[in-house]
Structure 1
């Protein structure tokens, strides 16, 4: 199956789950913490599937993060004059 078919299948399952939850809410009431939690989880799943569908519709070239080149040249030592060596204490003091 293609990604689109799989997402459609998941969407149908979520629709079935939502209908079943509606029937359960009629029988149990909507005030219970458990049924509200399951309803909220179902809505979160619906939102996640929508995000997956959106991500799958964009071309792969657009999804790749932009690469940042880090130079091999050493950093300027003046950037570190006001810092302490982590775990070693201050430069002008001795460790206990």
Structure 2
């Protein structure tokens, strides 16, 4: 199964949950727990939309250039040599 298939199945499940919660709200009214579930559903739907957008346009990791120049001697002033401990100045 492809990622698109999984995203479609997830979207369908959220739509089914939305329909079920709408039916509960019609029967129970603005019950606190139903309202909380509707809020959770909205967050899940927003997360799914973001995930779908990321899958459609994957980001490339940002490359960081590391210069080959030597570090300034002060950079190592308070460093410890591995295995020897702190070296005297």
TM-score, with normalisation over the residues of structure 2? 0.71
Report the structure, 1 or 2, having the larger strand content: 2
The equivalent of 1:74 in structure 2 is 71
From 60, 67, 88, the counterpart of 1:64:
60
Deviation for aligned residue 1:69 = 2.2
Deviation of the 1:34 alpha carbon: 1.4
Runs of 5+ consecutive residues of structure 2 not aligned to the other structure:
79-89
Shift of 1:64: 1.7
Distance 1:47 1:28 in 2: 25
Is residue 2:20 matched to residue 1:4?
no
Paired residue for 2:13? Answer: 13
Q: How does 1:1-96 map to 2 (within 5 A)?
A: 1-30=1-30, 32-58=31-57, 60=58, 63-71=59-67, 73-75=70-72, 77=74
Q: Shift of the alpha carbon at 1:52?
A: 1.1
Shift of 1:74: 2.3
Paired residues in the alignment total: 75
Structure with the bigger RCO (C-alpha within 8 Å, sep 6+) is: 1
Q: CA RMSD in A?
A: 2.1
